[in-house]
Each structure stands twice: as C-alpha cells, then as structure tokens.
A and B are shown apart, each in its own frame.
Chain A
Amino acid sequence: MAVRTKFYTDKPNGKWMGVCAGIADYTGIDVTLVRVAMVILTVVSNGLALIGYIAAGVLAPKKPYDLYETADEQKFWQGVRSNPKRSTAEVRSKFRELDRRLADIETHYTSRNTRLAEEIEALR
C-alpha cells in the first residue's frame, strides 16, 4: 500500500510537472489558487520559486494512480495530513454513531413489540 502522508507530484492533473497539482492534492487547497500563488512567488522571488518548483518536480515521487479510491477518501487523507488527531476523532465519532444506530435496532427488538402483540391478539 502506498503511503498517504507523503508529497507526490500529480502530473496527469498538472500543467507542467504537476507540482502545483500535487500541493493542491496534498493540502486540499484549490489548484488554481496554488498556481496563482506560485506565479506571484516566482515574480517576487526573482525566479527562486521556479528553481524550487523544478527541484520538487524532479525529486518528489510521482503519485500512484490508485492512491485514493473515492473522492471522500482523498478528502479524509487531506484532513489526516493537516491534523491527524481530528481525523482520528472523526472516525471515532463515526463508530459512536453506528453504535447508537445499532442500539436503536436492539431497543426496537428487545422492548415490547406492540405490533406483534396486536397480530397475535388478532389470531386468537
């Protein structure tokens, strides 16, 4: 399984080397904003950001094509990368919700079933 907490370049979704698309995928920021920030940074830093871009494009590994199976999963891992504690708490709350829903079903079957009682009564 590929590691989901690493930075990858995303060439298929990118314009040139896929670094901006990779940053967008890593952080969850809109890719257009990342590109605009990149252009501004390049102008401000006299091209230093461009060297950083090329270095990142050459050095960073390419994103595996099957890194995420669904868009929800991608979003979940973006949350993990920014704050793993919160994501863990989200998973826990999901389990709590499921526990409550199962408890509802259990309560429904274990408590006095009026409908069933009525049906039995009608058969008498």
Chain B
Amino acid sequence: MDDFIMWLGILGIVVGLPWLFLHYVTKWKQAPKITDEDEKLLDELYHFARRIEDRVQTVERIVAADNPDFRQLSAPTQAPSVSQTHDYDLARRN
C-alpha cells in the first residue's frame, strides 16, 4: 500500500507537473496576440481618442457657455472626463 502511494506520488510529479505546465504554455501560446506594428497603431489610436475627447470637451464647454439651451445628449454624465482625472498630464496635449 505504501509502495503504491509512493509510485502514485512519483507519477504525479513526473507526469502531472510537466503536463500542467505544458497545458498552460499551450494555452498561453494560443491566446490572441498582436504584432509590434499593431501595437504601435493601437497606441496611436488610443492617444488620438484621448486627445480628440479633450478637444470635444473644450468645444462642448464653449458651446454650453454660449448657448444655455444646448443639451449634451450623447455626452457621458457620470463618468469623469479625461481632463478632470487627477493623473491627467497636460504635456500630452498638443
């Protein structure tokens, strides 16, 4: 009986652990990946989005100041805007 448990343990370590390891390695390899060019493109688009959001916000504020009856129908109401978050970096703007 002790012999059996010992062999089971050895089998578990020799077969089970590499299996588990390789299982997750293959899973990781199959996970969607993006190329370096795509990464650069996505980075650029992300910063474009932030910058344009900032500009739109400025325009919205100007319009709202000039026209009190202007209603921002599509603007998010509860989500904090980019320029209002504390970590907003002014150096990012151009």
Contacts and interface: CB of A to CB of B under 8 A. Distances in A.
B46 A4 contact: no
The 3 closest A-B pairs by CB, nearest first: A100-B74, A94-B49, A84-B34
Given A84-B32, A91-B49, 20 more contacts: A4-B39, A4-B43, A69-B89, A70-B89, A73-B46, A84-B33, A84-B34, A84-B38, A85-B32, A88-B42, A91-B45, A95-B49, A97-B74, A98-B52, A98-B53, A101-B75, A105-B56, A108-B67, A108-B70, A113-B67
Contacts of B39: 3-5, 80
Interface of A: 1, 3-5, 45, 48, 69-73, 76, 80, 83-85, 87-88, 91, 94-95, 97-98, 100-105, 108, 113-115
B92 A101 contact: no
B36 interface: yes
A66 to B, nearest CB: 12
| Range of interface residues on B (Cβ < 8 Å) | 20 to 34
Given A5-B34, A98-B56, A101-B56, A91 B42 contact: yes
Interface of B: 17, 32-34, 36, 38-40, 42-43, 45-46, 49, 52-53, 56, 59-60, 63, 67-76, 85, 87-89, 92
A103 B73 CA distance: 10
Contacts of B52: 95, 98
Given A72-B85, A85-B32, A94-B49, A101 B40 contact: no
